[in-house]
Amino acid sequence: MSATASIRLDAVTVRYGAVTALDDVTVAIAPGAVTALVGMNGAGKSTLFGAITGRLRPHTGRVEVLGGTADAARRAGRVTVMPQTDGVDADFPLTVADVVAQGRYGRLGLTRRLKPADRAAVTDALARVQLSELAERPIGALSGGQRRRAFVARALAQEADVLLLDEPYAGVDVVSEQLIADVLAERAAAGATVLVSTHDLATLGDRAHRVVLLARRIVADGPPAEVLAPEVLARAFGLPPASGAQPDARPAADPGEGRS
Amino acid sequence: MSPLDLILEPFTYEFMLRALAATTIAAVVCAVLSCWLVLIGWSLMGDAVAHAVLPGVVLAYLVGAPFAVGALVFGLLAVLLIGVVRDTSRVKEDAAIGIVFTSLFALGIVLVSVVPSQIDLGHIVFGNILGVGPADLVQIAVIGAVALALLIVKRRDLTLFAFDPAHAHSIGLSPRRLSALLLGLLALTAVVGLQIVGVVLVVALLIIPGATARLLTDRIQRMLVIAPLIAAASSLVGVAASYYLDVASGGAVVVVNAIVFFAVYLLHPRRGLAARIRRPRASAAS
């Protein structure tokens, strides 16, 4: 574990009532790299994100973000979360530019009025995800992939040091997917901490520097080539090695599903 | 006599002018609030809070406190109780809302009947536009101005909260505080509207203008202008109509709001029902 980690979880346990969502998780995420968080539904990926943003309080253990508490980093606007789009009303009466501008709110005054520098940041972010021409369209008029790019642009406009993305590639067209992957690689190269949760193992090798397998606790952690080896996956998800990638053995554990 | 003179003639009477001023203020504040309520899906919550403030109003009258204080306390109490019942039992949210607001409303009715007062139950339930006195108007104006100012200052935060509370939280805003602000203003606005159109119909002012505006535009910034304009115009026409037709003023104002909504719903050039029926294929493709 690197001494310069920007996110540290130390023996973190989170429970919902009687259900343990995260069990004694210790992990350190380094800046300047894309880290993929892989696990089946209910593996605790969203819970882990919640602990990093301070939305969820661990029952035991400690979370440190950018050298301070999760709440401090969040309030300083240094953390951005990109939700799975299902969470928001796609038909909301806002334009694409309005949504991207929300990334700037943390640094604006009482009424969140945009200044010229903020407008410039919004314009740049839209250009980076190739949505400049659609800036004045209602957010609901975009395709799924374009909408996801709009949320990536909002995260860019925020200029945060830590980017958390929940399934950014789920249900996205190929062009949008590649564009998002490029943007994330760029941010990581510029020194940001990028943590991406995903089901999609096929393209991880090119897109992540490090893969963390989560099943309520950390079951594997390392470079993609190591972690994504069939034996490791099989051991991690409790499958017999021969049927490593077969979904029928334990459907929810199939790491390749979930692109619908 | 021009149509405008016809509309304005009733307001040469001072009590009619006061009635119009009070109605317009209440309707405008309700309309601005309604934009967020319809977008969040809190229409039922608006209904609940509007009813639940009744015991607060009666108790405030009893101890000589301002109505707004009692309304605020009971409005927030209702929201709190709804959350508690929903989260700590098998009862789902719609049932929790139904249980809590009817219980509090019933308590209010019981209180009205036992508390010796000049509160007329009919006025609370159905409003009393024409009975608005100078002191009432001042109270309505002050509450309305405070609520409107807060809504305007916080409009972008409220919109973000309505659209994506998780992002609001992640950039350091407090969704909990924003929802409390919205519900608190809802309670305040309900007590204003209650004096005008009554507990039952104040819900209409808290839903219809925002819903009408949503049909007319795809930008919330425009909704926040269109909704109060519609509400203000409907107040003028409704109060004037009640004068000429000698009908209940509160009801008339709401009926005008409803007519505007259904006119837009049916006749909007692109999204109206009539346009959709005329070109079914185009609407299926959009």
The verdict on B135 touching A (C-beta cutoff 8 Å) is: no
pLDDT at B139 over 60: yes
Cross-chain CB nearest to A93 (options B155, B171, B218):
B218
The beta strand positions in chain A, using DSSP E, are 7-16, 19-29, 33-38, 60-65, 79-82, 162-166, 193-198, 210-215, 217-222
The verdict on A114 touching B (C-beta cutoff 8 Å) is: no
Report pLDDT for A250. 40
CA separation (Å) from A247 to A188, A227, A235, A243?
33, 18, 15, 8
The answer to whether position A180 is within a domain reads: no
Q: Tell me the backbone φ, ψ of residue A198, rounded to 5 degrees.
A: -155, 155
Structural domain for A211, as ranges: 1-78+162-173+193-260
**What is residue B231's three-state secondary structure?**
helix
Token output for B35:
């934009």
Report pLDDT for A8. 94
* Residues of A with Cβ-Cβ distance to B219 under 8 angstroms: 93-95, 98, 138
The verdict on B170 touching A (C-beta cutoff 8 Å) is: yes
pTM of the model: 0.85
Identify whether residues A54 and A168 lie together within a single domain. yes
The verdict on A128 touching B (C-beta cutoff 8 Å) is: no
Contact A106 B171 (CB under 8 A): yes
Range from A43-57, B147-161, B175-189 that averages highest in pLDDT: B147-161
Identify whether residues A98 and A135 lie together within a single domain. yes
Identify whether residues A166 and A241 lie together within a single domain. yes
Identify whether residues A26 and A144 lie together within a single domain. no
- Summarised one tens digit per residue, pLDDT across range A27-45 is 999 999 999 999 887 888 8
* Residues of A with Cβ-Cβ distance to B153 under 8 angstroms: 110-111
Report the alpha-carbon distance of residue A78 to residue A155 in Å, rounded.
10
The verdict on A46 touching B (C-beta cutoff 8 Å) is: no
The answer to whether position A182 is within a domain reads: no
* B170, B176, B215, B218: best to mutate for the A interface, most A CBs within 10 A: B170
Identify whether residues A169 and A51 lie together within a single domain. yes
Q: Among A66-70, A130-134, B154-158, B275-279, which stretch is predicted with the lowest mean pLDDT?
A: B275-279
Domains of chain B: 3-285 (1.10.3470.10)
- Summarised one tens digit per residue, pLDDT across range A102-124 is 999 988 888 899 999 999 999 99
Report pLDDT for B118. 67
- Summarised one tens digit per residue, pLDDT across range A209-248 is 999 999 888 988 999 888 888 888 887 776 665 544 444 3
The answer to whether position A122 is within a domain reads: yes
Q: How many domains does chain A have?
A: 2
The verdict on B158 touching A (C-beta cutoff 8 Å) is: no
